[in-house]
């Protein structure tokens, strides 16, 4: 593990990382081991949660009760508090209302006033203020498809990209604080085919039933998407912390469900990283990376293609 004393920028300031997520539980299911690693290394990590998850379904049969459903908003906040403590992060609610996941053919309209229907510039303003106050070196969010096409995940992507640009513009909304340029922007990329194939093969090699066989059978290879994976952060020793944080979201996660069908040791051995796409860097770096702060605090040691400052990947 890198000493916390080394996790500073060139000016000697503590490194700062901002994750932007759509709902409570996303911070634990997407990149949580990376988060836990950086917290352990002394990085200041903040999670911005766009909505309260008010329209989320109860996905754990043990929690599917009328009293839970009637109080889902407050319960999900309590779950977030527990996950926050486990991960050692600061967490901020941006205050928007969950859109729910529309189902049916044709899809029903989104509910009035929800996050997914907001104007991007308006929805981005609380995040602009947070970026200028916290001054993150690195910001992570979802890709343009939201990681999966939930309207809140897609809107989370939109406001993250918009807020990062607006926060850097001193002429834009000066009432929200002094301008701040995020040095690196990443998309979270956990659900990539290479990782799923590695886990599937590891399960099969051990004579265990893989939960991924059906998914892989329907998942057509996409070299362009595979090429998005630029940054693999080693964090296997923090997978247990990730799982503990995920289980804190008891309404959303079934301990007997698919999330935990692959043993922890298989995860650690078959794919010991969490994966990201570098989208924009204001500092020189090289690909592939093994650190979100490459080029900011930690000398780049891996060979790869140089990425000039300001380059957009993908």
Indicate the pLDDT class of residue 3, thresholds 50, 70 and 90: very low
Look at residue 273 and tell me whether its pLDDT is greater than 50. yes
Contact between residue 23 and residue 152 where contact means Cβ atoms under 8 Å apart: yes
Any domain includes 171: yes
Give the residue-averaged pLDDT of 260-268. 96
Q: pLDDT at residue 4 above 80? A: no
148: pLDDT confidence band, cut at 50, 70 and 90? confident
| Mean per-residue pLDDT, 46-61 | 95
Q: Is the peptide bond before 82 cis (omega within 30 degrees of 0)?
A: no
Phi and psi at residue 226, to the nearest 5°: -60, -35
pLDDT tens figures, 57-79: 999 999 999 999 999 999 999 99
In a domain, 275, yes or no: yes
Q: Is the predicted pLDDT of residue 218 greater than 60, yes or no?
A: yes
pLDDT for 123 beyond 50 = yes
CATH of the domain at 125: 3.40.50.10320
Query: How confident is the model at residue 106, as a pLDDT?
Result: 87
Q: Does 306 score more than 80 pLDDT?
A: no
Q: How many domains is the chain partitioned into structurally?
A: 1
Residue 44 in any domain: the answer is: yes
pLDDT of residue 5: 52
C-alpha closest to that of 128 among 153, 159, 84 = 159
- Residue 122 confidence (pLDDT) above 50: yes
Q: Are 49 and 24 in contact (CB under 8 A)?
A: yes
Asked whether residue 177 carries a pLDDT value surpassing 90, the answer given is: yes
* Statement: the pTM of the whole predicted model exceeds 0.85: yes
Is pLDDT larger for residue 53 or for residue 301? Answer: 53
Q: Which residues contact 118 (CB under 8 A, 6 or more apart)?
A: 96, 155
Q: What is the rounded CA–CA span in Å between residue 7 and residue 154?
A: 32
Measured N-to-C along each axis, helices 72-87 and 32-40 cross at an angle, to the nearest 10 degrees, of 40
- pLDDT above 50: residue 100: yes
Check: CB of residue 266 under 8 Å from CB of residue 203: yes
Domain assignment present for residue 313? The answer is no
Q: Is 249 annotated as a binding residue?
A: no
| Between 204 and 3, the higher pLDDT residue | 204
Average pLDDT over residues 123-146: 98
| Residue 252 clears pLDDT 90, i.e. is over it | yes
* Reduced 3-state DSSP string for the chain: CCCHHHCECCCCCECEEEEEECCCCHHHHCCHHHHHHHHHCCCEEEEEEEECCCCCCCCCHHHCCHHHHHCHHHHHHHHHHHHHHHHCCEEEEEEECCCCCCCCCCCCCCCCCCHHHCCHHHHHHHHHHHHHHHCCCEEEECCCCCCCCCHHHHHHHHHHHHHHHHHCCCCCCHHHCCCCCCCEEEEECCCCHHHHHHHHHHHHHCCCCCCCHHHHHCCCCCHHHHCCCCEEEECHHHHHHHHHHHHCCCCCCCCCCHHHCCCHHHHHHHCCEEEEEEEEECCCEEECECCCCECCCECCCCCCEEECCCCECC
> What are the backbone dihedrals phi and psi of residue 169, each rounded to the nearest 5 degrees, phi first?
-95, 110
C-alpha–C-alpha distance, residues 48 and 38, integer Å? 17
1 pLDDT exceeds 80?
no
Q: pLDDT grade, residue 303 (50/70/90)?
A: very low
Q: What is the pLDDT of residue 182?
A: 98
Q: What is the pLDDT averaged over residues 82-91?
A: 98
Domain annotation covers residue 294: yes
Q: Is the pLDDT of residue 314 over 70?
A: no
What is the average per-residue pLDDT within 126-131? Answer: 98
Residue 6 confidence (pLDDT): 66
256 in a structural domain: yes
Higher pLDDT residue, 300 or 91? 91
d(CA 298, CA 300): 6
Is residue 271 pLDDT above 50, yes or no? yes
**Domain interval for residue 179:** 4-307
Res. 313: pLDDT tops 50: no
């Amino acid at each position: 593990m890198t000493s916390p004393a080394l996790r500073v920028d060139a000016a000697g300031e503590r490194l700062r990382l901002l994750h932007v997520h759509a709902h409570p539980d996303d911070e634990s299911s997407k990149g949580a081991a990376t988060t836990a690693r950086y917290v352990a290394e002394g990085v200041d990590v903040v999670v911005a949660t766009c909505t309260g998850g008010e329209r989320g379904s109860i996905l754990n049969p043990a929690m599917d009760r009328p009293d839970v459903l009637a109080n889902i908003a407050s319960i999900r906040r309590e779950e977030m508090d527990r996950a926050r403590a486990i991960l050692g992060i600061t967490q901020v609610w941006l205050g928007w209302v969950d859109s729910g996941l529309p189902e049916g053919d044709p899809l029903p309209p989104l509910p009035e006033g929800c996050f997914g229907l907001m104007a991007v510039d308006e929805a981005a303003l609380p995040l602009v203020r947070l970026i200028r106050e916290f001054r993150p070196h690195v910001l992570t969010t979802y890709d343009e498809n939201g990681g999966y096409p939930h309207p809140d995940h897609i809107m989370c992507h939109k406001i993250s990209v918009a807020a990062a640009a607006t926060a850097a513009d001193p002429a834009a909304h000066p009432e929200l604080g002094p301008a701040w340029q995020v040095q690196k922007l990443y998309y979270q990329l956990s659900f990539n085919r290479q990782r799923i194939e590695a886990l599937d093969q590891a399960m099969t090699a051990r004579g265990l039933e893989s939960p991924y066989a059906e998914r892989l059978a329907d998942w057509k290879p996409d070299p362009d998407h595979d090429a998005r994976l630029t940054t693999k952060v080693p964090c296997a020793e923090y997978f247990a912390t990730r799982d503990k944080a995920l289980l804190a979201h008891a309404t959303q996660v079934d301990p007997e469900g698919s999330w935990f069908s692959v043993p922890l040791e298989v995860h650690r051995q078959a794919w010991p990283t969490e994966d990201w796409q570098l989208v924009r860097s204001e500092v020189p770096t090289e690909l592939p990376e093994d650190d979100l702060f490459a080029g900011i605090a930690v000398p780049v040691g891996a060979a790869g293609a140089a990425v000039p400052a300001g380059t957009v990947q993908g």
